[in-house]
Amino acid sequence: MSALHLRGVVLPEGEERDVWVDAEGYVRTDPVQGADTVLDGGWLLPGLVDAHCHVGVDEHGGVDETPTESQAVASRDAGALLLRDAGVPVDTHWVDERPDLPRIIRAGRHIARPKRYIRNYGEEIEPEQLVAEVERQAVRGDGWVKLVGDWIDRDAGDLTPCWPAEVAAAAIARAHELGARVTAHCFGEQSVADLVAAGIDCIEHGTGLTHDVIDEMARRGTALVPTRVQIDNFPTYAEQAGAKFPTYAAHMRALHASSDATLRAAYEAGVAIFAGTDAGGVLPHGLIGREVAALHDTVGLTPYDALGAASWRARDWLGFPGPVAGASADFVLYDEDPLAGLRVLASPARVVLRGRVVA
Ligand SMILES: [Zn+2]
């Protein structure tokens, strides 16, 4: 593996400078002898982060290593070099041995209620088992645990919370004792209110946020990963459930219709928003650029905030720094300034992962 030299505009600072990468793949600020120049005059962005995807599943459940590898490569080639996996039923730790594949921060397996989640995805349990299951998944994950916060309740014919508030609070407290953070899938209003009050660290989707809950998230520092591209599938879910569950269908359509106003209110209140594609299952991998564009175009984040939500800010949040001396050289290079036009995210000029040009 050879040393690299890059000269370009380094984001988010926006200053043109030299970045050197030693033969071990680490960033150096002093020149490295014999380095290959792989960027001269473009833009250098800290490697993108997909803060909500699933590596190792398709719409039927867990998949084996070949499709898992293809998913990881699709994310990588789109510039997503750090993936926060929001729950899979398979063990993907073998990916950690592959320097050419993105880093994965796992949340173990989804914790769901029986028959109230996508079949073959979750660990399906009753509320009295939640604390013990959180303990198990905290061990399987890399510092995160994922709850399914709400889902259709076929008896009620609508979305309802999966966990009594006091049980969720005990489980979150236990995860924190074990050093793990907790996040939850929440579409509706009640689950997100309960879980934010219970001290959860992050909310996925968040279409049911009310102004009071948004204020509480901003006050507590609870993060939000809206998966904005995925929210556009809500009308399809409503259509599929329509005849049998009309209340649920109407609820999903209403959540979709208000989603941009809801998410914009969270942004304006100062809630920390991160970009996640929810790839795996319904959506393919490699859509991080589309999610960033959606956060700007439809939710109203500035280009700087939308890009930060998928790069330097998400890296800070997850503990993976940008191009500072001693950090792993994980960058995406562009021929044009992403802040001047987010569409360029769809076509990186080069992708550098652990100091190797991988795409
Ligand atoms: Zn998901």
| Distance, CA of 280 to CA of 306 (rounded, Å) | 22
CB atoms closer than 10 angstroms to residue 128: 9
How far is ligand 1, taken at its centre, from the CA of residue 52, in Å?
6
Q: What is the tens place of the pLDDT at every residue in 179-217?
A: 999 999 999 999 999 999 999 999 999 999 999 999 999
How far is ligand 1, taken at its centre, from the CA of residue 354, in Å?
27
Residue 89 class from Cβ within 10 Å (0-12 exposed, 13-18 middle, 19+ buried)? middle
Place of tokens 């209620």: 113
CB 111 within 8 A of CB 122: yes
| Distance, CA of 298 to CA of 278 (rounded, Å) | 17
Q: What is the tens place of the pLDDT at every residue in 51-91?
A: 999 999 999 999 999 999 999 999 999 999 999 999 999 99
Positive or negative: CA dihedral 191, 196, 202, 208: positive
Average pLDDT of the segment spanning 257-271: 98
Residue 179 class from Cβ within 10 Å (0-12 exposed, 13-18 middle, 19+ buried)? exposed
Neighbours of ion ligand 1 (CB under 5 A): 86, 278
**Confidence at 29, pLDDT banded by 50, 70, 90:** confident
How far is ligand 1, taken at its centre, from the CA of residue 121, in Å?
10
> In the chain, what's the furthest Cα-to-Cα distance?
68
At 38, which helix (H) or strand (E)?
A: strand 36-46
pTM (global) more than 0.85: yes
Contacts of 10 (CB under 8 A, 6+ apart): 16, 17, 19, 44, 323
